[in-house]
Chain A
Amino acid sequence: MEILLVLGLPLLGALSLALFGARRFAAELNVGMSFATLVAATFLVLRVIRHGPMLAAHEQFFVDSFNVFLVALTAFVGFTTAVFSRPYMRIEEYHGRLNAQRLRLYHSMYQLFMAAMFLALLTNNMGLLWVAMEAATLSTVLLVSLYRTRASLEAAWKYFILCGVGIAQALFGTILLYFAAEQTLGREGMTALLWTHLNAVKGQLEPRVLGLAFVFLLVGYGTKVGLAPLHNWLPDAHAEGPTPVSAVLSGLLLNVALYAVIRCKILVEGSIGSHIPGRMLMAFGLLSAVLAAFFLFRQRDIKRLFGYSSIEHMGIITFAFGMGGPVANFAALLHMTVHSLTKSSIFFTAGHASQTAGTQRMDGIRGLVGISPTIGWGLMLGSIAILGMPPFGVFASEFLVLTTAMREHPWTTPFLLIALGVAFAAIFSRVQPMVFGESDARPLPHSPAMVPVFVHLTMVLALGLYMPPALAAWYRAAARLIG
């Protein structure tokens, strides 16, 4: 029931906004639908906490502690982003960058995107997972190109082609999976693509096929995760799309894609019985983190900067999942949470900052604390949090990742050290002059939506200092599940 709501409400929202999206109250409607979804998701979470994992609709849908926490996260960030986008889009409209029709498209696509992600998270069917990912891509493509500027079109085009091709690889991987599965599970009852069943029999699945399948799945979904060297679409899309979209892209879509990868990894590792997939993930993660750190060094555009930072953090998370084991998985899940919270809040502030300064180029943004202390401090604290400074939660996860790596794979720590150090230098040297110093810009026409930012940051801070036992237990369960 809750599942139905969680999936249905965004769809309904998409439809209704497609109808009334041009009206004045569209933004409020958007917020309302997102809130409803959040409520539904909360009920789902409560139910799972109370009764444990559940299957629904002929096992087509499946909720366990791993995906339910992502569902909750997605719903929450989706809601706060909707709250943020209300004034933000107003200001964009005021600046004449958008008109009512575009806003209609934006709002309905936003809801559709949400629906797609929920489907991807909740489905038990690897094929449906693929469909949902593709749907998420398609809906965001239109969002990225919302401004219809040359840059945004180019970004969207690259996004579409790269992710489309990637997704195609993933489909081939899925086919191979099915090919292997039907050897053991047979065709009847189309159970051969149900993750639960596959997971049950993963020991008997043909290792060679699964190995092959994993390569395709990894390349396919990894493209959407933004793992280097498949990441090239990510910075463009983040920089050129409207800020709320950038926020949900790096806050949520990357997580969902990674979720898909991890689901596949569980199967394949079970079948191969070796850690090769984990090692692959570690390699990708390390490469992404290091490359992204050096990319960060050259940035001039604020949203592009934080796009790359997302690549870096996805790299760290992937690396942690690759290491495996209760601690590393715990750290990775925690990092997923805090990263999406922090990064989305950073994008909120970055969006407002660039609106204030009238440019996304960081040379043009100066002395934010002077103009609007909330934006300035929001950006400063957000960057500090994302750079892994305690007492913010990002540090907690990096603490676990680093200590684990030092103990299990000492040879990786120099790379991590370089990645973190360079990233710190790069980001902080850019953020400091933006926040501090002199400026002559004027405040915004509408009051900025800084509430979500500080809500997020407070949560991240709290996660660094105190984690509620329920949440902890939940993470542990998920970590155990991933193995």
Chain B
Amino acid sequence: MSGFTIFRQFGEVVLGIGIAPLFAGWIAQCRAWLQNRSAPPLLQPYRMLRKLFNKDAALATDASALFRTTPYVLFGTMVLAAAIIPSLGTDLPLARVADAIALIGLFATARVSLALAAMDIGTAFGTLGARREMMIGFLAEPALLMVLFNAFLLFGSTSLSNLVDAYSARRTVIDPSVIFAAIAFLMVLLAENARIPIDNPATHLELTMIHEAMVLEYSARHLALVEWASSLKLFNYACIGFALFLPWGIATHGADGGRALLLAVTALMTKLAIAGAALALIESLSAKVRIFRAPEYLAMAFLLAVLGLLVHLLLGA
């Protein structure tokens, strides 16, 4: 691997870490506009982080080491994921480390460690949040896997980079199964990232919250890391979506260095902007469902993904 690829790898990670809060902020802004509230500034998330980092950490008296290390683990996994997902270019040195299935495993690791940390203090809300989060997880994961299976059937690989390469190698990609898969993926994305209709990142209403309930005990730098990690998660999911369904602009193998990179950056930015707006729209249009309805919602996603597979096997190939 040349120095350039290493540089790109590094740049991609840094970029991801850098713009993830921005992305979150952008979505918030769009939501505010759509609900015609006066929007918070775009850089609000960064300010938030800075404030948190400067605060004193208030730890529960009997918080164990698990509780304190989790934020770092969370952040670490998300950063690694960002390094593996081809957001700018495909020939990443780390891309081979984990294919898409392993990537899901990585997210699961993050989820489980957060859930365990939430149970550590032993408060009513922490355990409640952990339980709900795991429930969402074990329903969302299969759906996501089905989506990836679908992609594999199309392009014969589970490594995202290779998927993108194969994808852009083909001129036309009109496969009926993709539509199902895309919808399923979108639903999973919403569920996994604690967005409406499953969860509401902006609420602290006890009975409905999931993600917030888990991080309730965190404060200061720990909370900052957790928040940053969750915005990174959203960013990663977005990138996965791009890689799977609209990989245009991502620098493939063979594409020569500088121009491709510039193109890729601009492409990513535009996609993020559009996607953020779209997410905000969806969130504003849909209402949050009762926690008992969440399984049905995710079962729907799961079903769509499986349908996609069947459609592919029936019509495609």
A–B: direct contact at CB < 8 Å:
no
B residues neighboring A (CB under 8 Å): none
A residues neighboring B (CB under 8 Å): none
